[in-house]
Amino acid sequence: MAPDTDDATDSEGETRAREVEVPLRLYKVVTVFSTMFAVAFVVGGFIVLDTATQRASLSLSELDLPLAVLGVGMIAAGAFVYAFSTRFRAEGMGKPKDDADEHSDNG
Amino acid sequence: MTDNEQTDNTGEAQADGGSDSAESGPRQDPRPDGGGTGIVPPDDETPTWSERKQRTQGLSRLTYEYFERARSEDQDLRQESSYVERDVLAFPTWPHEMIRNLSLTSFFVGMIIFLAATLPPHLGPPADPSSTPAVILPDWYLYWSFGLLKLGPLNPELAILGGEKLLADRTYGVMANVVIVGIIAIVPFLNKGSARRPVEQPFWAAFGMAGLAFAWTISALSIKNLVPIDAHLLFDLTFLLPVVVGTITYAVLKSMREGYMFDLNRRYYRLRPPK
Amino acid sequence: MSIERKDDYDHGEWMREKNLTPVETTFLTALIWMDKRFRIVDYLEILETLYYRVNLQMPKSHTEQYNLDNKFWYWYPLYALGSFSTIAYVVAAVSGALLGFYYAPATTGDPSSAYNQLAFIMTDLNFGFMLRSLHRWSAQVMVAAVFLHMLRVYFTGAYKEPRELNWIIGIILISLTMVFGYTGYLLPWDQLAFWAGQIGVEMSLSIPLAGEWVAQLVFGGFSLGQATLQRMYILHVFFLPFVVTTIIGVHIAIVWIQGIAEPH
């Protein structure tokens, strides 16, 4: 992945997660749909995995291997979609770790 | 109002409102203090959330100014009041507290279900009036009250009555319940003022800790045949331990107090600067 | 809302100038394609607008307003104990109502009908064991939460000046909660219940002056029997629920009006 001008490095030159700034409306689209897909994939993956292993009751030799791989793959895909969507930010959204309006001293 | 608060107010106005000054262009909408009703009916021009959030014009600005004015008037009144130096403040129950509580309690409800699933209750043998079981116990939360029934040894034998007791031991125990509840009930009438933290009032914190310790020891006394301590020793401990706990709490809080109060007083000073 | 859409964006053009990786472009294009067909975001935006219209302005919390101790959140769970006991009360009420379909407060037979019904609920009834378990645990947890709630209120000084009334109402509530628990404890009519009832009768007989009267009224006599169980049942499922729910309502209303007493 090509390093981006956006915020590929922070002040110490340390590489950090890539962040892409998108319009607010598009940010909402990304959040809503990718969360939906992620949830659907993960839940569906578990259902498929359950079916393949008959709710984890089959021994290793009996299980439906392609279906089990599909299930694990779906869970991974859900996780990937979610993780991928976190790089998009709306303009004006702070980087969570950099937000320094919390001080650790008492007031 | 002092300058200090003035800056505080403006800072607050901008805190979640975006740039107030930067976007104050031509403002043709009615100002709340410039005559007219100042009421803008909602129509096609009702601002979207993002516009509303910027609070620069229209109904949003009006609303904001209304709330801000109400708040500052309220603050002025509180400042002028000489009733108490640091009067009572409070969190608004809605929305902060309720939302927080809902999220926390939903977790705890999950915990109840988990407990119910893993630790089901026991159903003992059926009631049989002819055989007294070895252990008779109420539920745990009544142990303290049950323990108070065993205070017989404290019941004074009055010389006037020729060594007789004024009350039967059982009656004495029941009355002890009333005394305990009574003591708890009159606490707010004895302890007034706006101190909140235990360090501010070591005595009351120590009193509370002693009471808490007593609740535990009296509960232990109520099940004394299950506790592997000599009965007389347990009886003495029931009254000694709370005193010890109270004393330790008092000593610890007293020694913490000096450093702590500096911080607290600074905070109070900021909250309510003296006139 | 005006009919014209506020921010329609030329996504294609924007993406070209933005220097995205192919994966990102595909990802965004796919999602935009979905969005054009299923306008879910629009509906969510309507909800968002409604939300903010209802809360014209979210008031700042005390901590925000006065920039107080930002570590205060450590204590939030203790501040939720009151709500928690209310929720546990609701859980107990729901599971209790369901248990009520199967329970009969009768001492006839050997073992008694009440005990038999309990055994039926726990062994034969679908989900009955869990139901009873849930009822019992939520009751236990409610009492525990109420105790801890009282400690929290005491040690943060939240019972002070304008809130004395609520403190007293709280004491009444905690007592009624324990009565609630006690009456429920007697209902299975097993050995523990019977002898706990015996203690109850003796305690009420020990009350000066009114003792016999109280024993008659609450336990229906000086020895335990059908009348006792019947009274405990009515107290537990009819009398106390109304009284306690009302007092909880008043308690919470006063908290609502006065606000949460915060430590400074």
Residue with more model confidence, B156 or C159: C159
Count up the domains in chain A and report the number.
1
Quick: pLDDT tens for B157-188: 666 666 667 777 778 888 889 999 999 999 99
Q: Which of C47, C68, C133, C180 to mutate to test the interface with B (most CBs of B within 10 A)?
A: C133
C104 & C218 share domain: yes
Measured CA to CA, the distance from residue B237 to residue A12 in angstroms comes to 62
Confidence of residue C155 (pLDDT cuts 50, 70, 90): very high
**Could you tell me if C48 lies within 8 Å of chain B, comparing CB atoms?**
yes
A49 domain-assigned: yes
| pLDDT for the residue numbered B141 | 92
Structure tokens at C131: 């139901």
**Residue C100 structural domain:** 68-258
A62 domain-assigned: yes
Decide if B126 and C115 are in contact by the 8 Å CB cutoff: yes
**Residue A62 structural domain:** 34-90
Measured CA to CA, the distance from residue A63 to residue A61 in angstroms comes to 6
Measured CA to CA, the distance from residue C163 to residue B189 in angstroms comes to 10
- pLDDT of residue B249 exceeding 80: yes
Q: Least CA distance to A80: which residue of chain C?
A: C27
Average pLDDT over residues C37-56: 80
Decide if C133 and B119 are in contact by the 8 Å CB cutoff: yes
Query: Is the Cβ–Cβ distance between C57 and B64 less than 8 Å?
Result: yes
Residue with more model confidence, B198 or B270: B198
| pLDDT for the residue numbered C119 | 93
Tokens 């008037």 identify what position?
B73
C17 domain-assigned: yes
B46-50, B80-84, C118-122 — most confident range: C118-122
Residue with more model confidence, A104 or A62: A62
Query: Is the Cβ–Cβ distance between C180 and C244 less than 8 Å?
Result: yes
- pLDDT of residue B219 exceeding 80: yes
Residue with more model confidence, C56 or B252: B252
Decide if B270 and A107 are in contact by the 8 Å CB cutoff: yes
B48-52, B177-181, C77-81, C105-109 — most confident range: B177-181
Decide if A22 and C28 are in contact by the 8 Å CB cutoff: yes
Write the CATH number for C243: 1.20.810.10
Q: Say which of B45, B95, B108 has its CB closest to residue C55.
A: B95
| pLDDT for the residue numbered A5 | 44
Under 8 Å CB-to-CB from C83, ≥6 apart: which residues? B98, B101, B102, B104, B105
- pLDDT of residue C255 exceeding 80: yes
C263 domain-assigned: no
SS3 state of residue A45: helix
Average pLDDT over residues B62-83: 68
Burial of C27: CB neighbours in 10 Å, binned 0-12, 13-18, 19+:
buried
Count up the domains in chain C and report the number.
2
Rounded to two decimals, the ipTM of the complex is 0.73
- pLDDT of residue B90 exceeding 70: no
Decide if C91 and B109 are in contact by the 8 Å CB cutoff: yes
Cis bond before residue C162 (omega within 30° of 0): no
Helix spans in chain C (H): 11-17, 22-37, 40-54, 62-66, 76-79, 81-100, 113-123, 128-155, 164-186, 191-205, 211-219, 226-234, 240-258
Tokens 């000694």 identify what position?
B240
Residue with more model confidence, C142 or B59: C142
A99 domain-assigned: no
A25 domain-assigned: no
C33 domain-assigned: yes
Q: Least CA distance to A106: which residue of chain B?
A: B263
| pLDDT for the residue numbered C5 | 53
A107 domain-assigned: no
Selection from B184, B207, B205 nearest residue B195 by Cα: B205
- pLDDT of residue C89 exceeding 80: yes
| pLDDT for the residue numbered C172 | 96
Decide if C24 and A32 are in contact by the 8 Å CB cutoff: no
Average pLDDT over residues A74-79: 96
Mark which of C23, C40, C58 sits at the end of a domain: C58
Confidence of residue A8 (pLDDT cuts 50, 70, 90): very low
Q: Least CA distance to A92: which residue of chain B?
A: B18
Average pLDDT over residues C155-163: 88
Average pLDDT over residues C56-81: 63
Residues of A numbered 65-94 whose beta carbons fall under 8 angstroms of chain C's beta carbons: which are they? Answer: 84-85, 87
Selection from C232, C174, C172 nearest residue C198 by Cα: C232
C133 & C25 share domain: no
Tokens 């319009």 identify what position?
A23
In this structure, are strands C260-261 and B90-91 parallel, antiparallel, or unpaired?
antiparallel
Percent of chain C with pLDDT over 70: 86
Lowest mean pLDDT among A88-97, B126-135, B195-204, C81-90: A88-97
C223 & C197 share domain: yes
C54 & C72 share domain: no
C120 & C38 share domain: no
- B179, B230, B235, C2, C205 from B154: Cα distances, Å: 14, 18, 10, 80, 21
Q: Which chain B residues have a beta carbon less than 8 Å from that of C199?
A: 136, 138, 146
C194 & C220 share domain: yes
